[in-house]
Chain A
Amino acid sequence: MKLRSTAAAAAVVVLALTATACGSGSDSGSNGDKITIGIKFDQPGLGLKTPDGKYAGFDVDVAKYVAKELGYSEDKIDWKQAPSAERENLIKNGDVKFVVASYSINDKRKKEVDFAGPYFLTHQDLLVRADDNSITKVEDLNSKKLCSVTGSTSAQNVKEKLAPKADLQQLGGYSECLTGLENKAVDALTTDASILAGYASQKELQGKFKLVGLKMSDENYGIGLKKGDDELRGKINKALEKMVSDGTWEKLVKANFGPSGYKYEAAPAIQK
């Protein structure tokens, strides 16, 4: 008897938990007067959650600007972490209204979500120690030790196209790679120039590293949103156009990537 009542109580708890879980998932990224935006929490310069609980970076600033144009002031934004592998699902499930998280536009992703923008054009590049001048072209890489994040597109590019003979180390995060770069265990860290610039712009790392400036791929960062939501897409595109034309775009890029000496491209044209 005692066992049975315990089981019943457990069942009730489980049911209640399931019900709450469903309840919180049913809104579509904007409940009432708030808007939920997906960003990275761990990329300095793009999307970073600072120790005091604030958010900083270029993606964050773009998201704030777009949200303002959509009628949401800064305190009406709920930030949600959008790690690379989860971005599509966050959008499809309606957990976020849109995603601004160094989200490169490509065909596979376009099958799952729609993109507004692009709002930034960057290239795969290399970060090396500030006193290292031995890499000037892609061919130099074959005799070098490279580091990138496990499974990332940049890592695959190196392995398959750019420098198949290079010794590539794939690690869990860019921070581990940076330690290796500092200790001379690796010669270069490779990924999108914007991400590299973000790291090189960090206060404690300024002056230690530099970007090589190779353009090894084109990455167009877009704002990911639910497939078929053309109204929102149009609005975001309009906000992005305004951001470029009123000079805010230039200002934000300089503020976030300036200290690294990153030679960024002009704002890309919006794809209608």
Chain B
Amino acid sequence: MFDFLDSGQYDLLGAFWVTAQLALYSAIGSLVWGTALVAMRVSPVPLMRGFATAYVNIVRNTPLTVVLVACLLGLNQTLGVTLGAETFENIGFRLAVLGLVAYTGTFVCEALRSGINTVPPGQAEAARALGLSFTQVLRLVILPQAFRASVTPLANVLIALTKNTTVAAAIGAAETSLLMKTMLENETDALFTVFAIFAFGFIVLTLPTGLVLGWAAKRLAVKR
């Protein structure tokens, strides 16, 4: 039943490694971008607030496939952006990270905003009264507590991101779903086995993420 795995024809671990890398880089990128977005959303400058709100609402409601294919057709094929990569596989990978960061950043932003809402407004007011600037209030008082309160929703975003990486196959990143499509094409007599292997692989990736971050959420939560 699993004999096609022994043929050495398929690099299963390699494909999952690419998926893990894709998820990791995108997670770091979207955490940074999401934090920047949320800072803009709560900032006192109307232009920044307006931009962040519009960006989040537009990108969050665009299907991920559309975002990624737009990166490929628009940025790469039409404008010639290669992000410093030479081969199509690397271009696909980098474009996928870019698209995933742009997309997932909106969810990180909203998760963090819910965290900000858990901080009593009195703290911000007190910090302002002490003479702290907006960035200081955000950096020293609000965001540290907001991050600790939003570990659980951020874990959700990370798990969703890990699974969303499969969409990157549409623009040629050599991750798991690309290998799965290859295997489905060749192993027509073992369709369900192939599906099961990949489903199991994703559980191996995401289940520990959920457990570890669930534990971390309890440890880090701000006791009020």
Q: Are A89 and B88 touching (Cβ within 8 A)?
A: no
- Complex partner residue of B88 from A109, A153, A156, A168, CB under 8 angstroms: A168
Which residues of B are found within 8 Å of A88, using beta-carbon distances?
A: 188-189, 191
Distance in angstroms between the alpha carbons of A171 and B92 in the assembled complex: 9
Interface presence of A179 (CB below 8 A): yes
Residue A143 at the B interface, CB < 8 A? no
Task: Check A179 against B77 for contact (C-beta < 8 Å).
Answer: yes
Distance of A172 Cα from B71 Cα, bound (Å): 14
Known: A167-B88, A176-B73, A179-B77. A108 touches B172 (CB 8 A): no
Q: Which residues of B contact A238 (CB under 8 A)?
A: none
Size range of the chain A interface in the assembly? 20 to 34
**Distance to closest chain B CB from A19 (angstroms):** 24
How distant is the Cα of A138 from the Cα of B128 in the complex, in angstroms?
71
Interchain CB contact (< 8 A) of A108 among B77, B170, B178, B189? B189
In the assembled complex, the Cα of A160 lies from the Cα of B104 at a distance in Å of: 35
**Closest approach, in angstroms, between the C-beta of B22 and any C-beta of chain A?**
15
Residues in A147-169 with C-beta less than 8 Å from chain B: 150-153, 155-156, 167-169
Cα separation A152 to B187 with both chains bound (whole Å): 12
Residue in chain B with minimal CB distance to A154: B185
Q: Is the CB of A85 within 8 A of B184?
A: yes
Is the Cβ of B77 less than 8 Å from the Cβ of A185? yes
- Chain B: residues with Cβ within 8 Å of the partner, total of 29
Residues of A within 8 A of B123 (CB): none
- Tally of A-B Cβ pairs under 8 angstroms: 72
CA of A145 to CA of B188, assembled, Å: 29
Please indicate the chain A residues that have their CB under 8 angstroms from the CB of B191 in the complex: 85, 88-89
Say how far A166's CB is from chain B's closest CB, in angstroms: 10
Q: Given the complex of chains A and B, what is the CA–CA distance between A11 and B185 in angstroms? A: 38
The reply to whether B189 and A112 contact each other, CB–CB distance below 8 Å, is yes
Q: Kindly supply a per-residue 1/0 record for chain B positions 164-188, scoring 1 wherever the CB is within 8 Å of any chain A CB and 0 otherwise.
A: 0000011110100011111111111
> Given A88-B188, A112-B189, A185-B77, A172–B182 Cβ distance below 8 Å?
no
Assuming A171-B172, A172-B169, is B185 touching A152 (CB within 8 A)?
yes
Is B206 part of the contact surface with A, judged by Cβ < 8 Å?
A: no
Residue of chain B at shortest CB distance from A87: B188
Whether B69 and A183, one on each chain, are in contact in the complex, defined by CB atoms closer than 8 angstroms, is: no
Q: Is A206 an interface residue (CB 8 A)?
A: no
B188 A169 Cβ-Cβ under 8 A: no
Could you tell me if A171 and B189 are in contact, using CB atoms closer than 8 angstroms? Answer: no
Is there an interface contact between A172 and B184, defined as CB atoms closer than 8 Å?
no
CB-based contact B73/A151 at 8 Å: no
Find the B residue at minimum CB distance from A171: B172
Q: Is the CB of A108 within 8 A of B73?
A: no
Tell me if B76 and A172 are in contact (CB < 8 A): no
- In the assembly, what is the distance between CA of A268 and CA of B180, in Å? 33
Most chain B beta carbons < 10 A, residue from A88, A89, A150 = A150
Contact check, A172 vs B188: say whether CB atoms are below 8 A apart.
Answer: no
Assess whether A142 is interfacial by the CB under 8 Å rule: no
Instruction: Scan residues 70-124 of chain B and give those whose CB is less than 8 A from a CB of chain A.
Output: 72-73, 76-78, 80, 87-88, 92
Shortest Cβ gap from B26 to chain A (Å) = 19
Residues on A lying within 8 angstroms of B by beta carbon are 84-85, 88-89, 108-109, 111-112, 145, 150-153, 155-156, 167-172, 176, 179-180, 183, 185
Sort A-B residue pairs by CB-CB distance and give the 9 closest, nearest first. A151-B181, A169-B88, A151-B182, A172-B170, A185-B77, A170-B172, A85-B184, A183-B77, A180-B77
